[in-house]
A and B are shown apart, each in its own frame.
Chain A
Amino acid sequence: MSQDKTVLIANGQGFWGDSLLGPLRLVEEGPLDYLTLDYLAEVTMSIMQKQKLRNPNAGYATDFVEMLRQILPTCQKKGIKVIANAGGVNPRGCLEAIQSVVKELGMTGIKIGIVEGDDILDQLPELIASGEKFKNLDNGEAVDSILDRMSSANVYIGAKPIVDALAQGADIVVTGRSTDPSLVVAPLIYEFGWSMDDFDKLAAGTVMGHILECGAQCTGGNYNDWRNVPDFARIGYPVVEAKADGTFVVTKHEGTGGLVNIDTITSQLMYELGDPVNYLGPDCTSDFTTIKLEQDGENRVRVSGVKGSAPTPTYKVSMSYEDGYKIVGQLTYTGPDAIEKANLAAAILFDRVGMYGKPIPEADRFVELFGTNVCYKGIVKQEQEPSEVLLRVGAKSHDKNLLNILARELAPLITSGPVGVTGFAAGRPRPTEIVGYWPALIDKTKVTTSVIVEEV
């Protein structure tokens, strides 16, 4: 294989709900080999599990399928492959939906691959019987306390099954809970023939994945020197030019907005970073203190030097469980004395809720006066009395009805509370389920992934 071979990989979706303009423009506005899309956050799996309980055909990112409808003809014409963790808790359902779209478009010769095996919710009793503890990684608590309330359990799987799907000719690969970087590492392994124990290369791919995984957050989005970022509206999503030796250049398509420099890339490397020397992943452990960045022309940053080592013998597991309900409502109080009146209104509200028979315990109550430096609490001083504050008032409870009473008593404060109140436009708030997050580990040998590739 030629050392000059370059593989172009982009990320067009940083999270479930990211702009549709990302992927639509990426496939149209420049050259590309792989379009990766990241759909899953910790709580997403729990939401999808609930959707699947109501409808066995649901439980995946439906907007991914609708987006494919718009980009597939261009992808086929240009030979762009698509890799996404959009399968949620139902990759098979996602496969069927994509097949329908391909048929509706009148296209043929499209191979769709799915990766399964990350969803271990139904296997938990056997896994626990076999010795898996699933202790909470953050606080060491035993899993027993949440077993009967568990709503999802997914293993963060690695690049290998995606590589297998690509090797079987897949044009589109859909996974469940694979890690965000593995969506990027997989095409590198496939294209360059990297071995699964070439840890420096896998670490380089992981760093690439970390830079790409939040979409435009590495091309000028959420960047401190925002005044220097040109044309935010047309911000270019990141495109990587990858080489077989593990080095790569991060850039964006010609003519797009945004900015790629050492600072925008460093900003993203810092995002959600823990111990930089031991960045754990399913394929390898990466050392972020070995990364070398160089400006390589306008809107181009070259990344090299990345070192890695063998992965741990465990996979991370993301579990979620039902943990009661929460509610927040809001009203605007204007001055004079906005702060005092907003605090009084919150006190009246909790007092009235108690009159229905069951008070909300102090510890479960929530009051925040937005406009009094709540985001910079104790850091930026409030110089003068604000002439308006947003009262955010609510509570947490396992009793949903109690929160509904609070919701009902919010609007009456307008006519039966202190003066200077407005802004109830958001309407009556509704209690939402609290999804508890429970990170744990599982022995890798207990997890079996499988790949299906079907042609339409």
Chain B
Amino acid sequence: MARVQLFDVAIARSGDKGDGSNVGIKARTPELYEFLRENLTIAVVKEHFKEICFGDVKRYELPNLQVLNFILEDSLGGGGTETLIMDAQGKVHSLALLHMEMDIPDALLA
């Protein structure tokens, strides 16, 4: 096991969806995708964004692309056109997710 940031095992992109954002995360290998599918749960992501996302978190799986797609509802301080916050469109929610640290088996990091 090694404690690493998700930056080491995935890439991500995010954007706005109404008053929330979507964060897509792509694992760098099929094995890492399986690991994230098991461990990067809705509960884990909701806890990670607890000071940013105040609504529900949804998760969709795209195994063909090694991608998990999260929807973070109520995470933009009122929606793309109304909000005053700097990250009005959730553009860096992707990198915010990749800051997460996880214990990942060494075999998957080789």
Name which of A82-90, A114-122, A289-297 contacts chain B.
A289-297
Q: Residue-by-residue, is B35-49 near A (CB-CB < 8 Å gives 1, otherwise 0)?
A: 000000000000011
Are B65 and A269 in touch, CB under 8 angstroms? yes
B28 CB to nearest chain A CB (Å):
8
Are A379 and B49 in touch, CB under 8 angstroms? yes
From A270, A288, A379, B99 is in contact (CB under 8 Å) with A379
Also in contact, A276 and B69, with CB within 8 A (given A288-B62, A366-B84, A368-B85): yes
Q: How large is the interface on B (under 10, 10 to 19, 20 to 34, 35 or more residues)?
A: 35 or more
Q: Is B104's CB within 8 Å of the partner chain A?
A: no
> For chains A and B in complex, what number of residue pairs have CB atoms within 8 angstroms?
125
- In the assembled complex, the Cα of A20 lies from the Cα of B11 at a distance in Å of 29
Are A396 and B50 in touch, CB under 8 angstroms? no
Q: Is A138's CB within 8 Å of the partner chain B?
A: yes
Q: Residue-by-residue, is B78-110 near A (CB-CB < 8 Å gives 1, otherwise 0)?
A: 011110111100001011101110000000000
Are A224 and B12 in touch, CB under 8 angstroms? yes
Interface SS of chain B: mixed
Task: Count how many chain A residues have C-beta atoms less than 8 Å from C-beta atoms of the other chain.
Answer: 48
- In the assembled complex, the Cα of A380 lies from the Cα of B60 at a distance in Å of 26
> Chain B CB within 10 Å — which of A288, A305, A394 has the most?
A288
Are B67 and A266 in touch, CB under 8 angstroms? yes
Also in contact, A375 and B81, with CB within 8 A (given A267-B11, A267-B26): no
A429 CB to nearest chain B CB (Å):
11
Q: Is B18's CB within 8 Å of the partner chain A?
A: yes
- In the assembled complex, the Cα of A439 lies from the Cα of B20 at a distance in Å of 14
Q: Is B71's CB within 8 Å of the partner chain A?
A: yes
Chain B residues within an 8 Å CB radius of A435:
81
Are A273 and B26 in touch, CB under 8 angstroms? no
Q: Residue-by-residue, is B54-71 near A (CB-CB < 8 Å gives 1, otherwise 0)?
A: 000000111111110101
Are B48 and A392 in touch, CB under 8 angstroms? no
Chain B residues within an 8 Å CB radius of A392:
84, 86
Are A271 and B13 in touch, CB under 8 angstroms? yes
- In the assembled complex, the Cα of A260 lies from the Cα of B14 at a distance in Å of 19
Chain A residues within an 8 Å CB radius of B65:
266, 269-270, 288, 291, 293
Complex A-B: 18 CB contacts under 8 Å? A223-B11, A267-B26, A271-B13, A272-B22, A277-B60, A288-B62, A289-B61, A289-B64, A291-B65, A366-B85, A368-B86, A370-B86, A375-B92, A375-B96, A378-B51, A379-B52, A434-B81, A437-B81
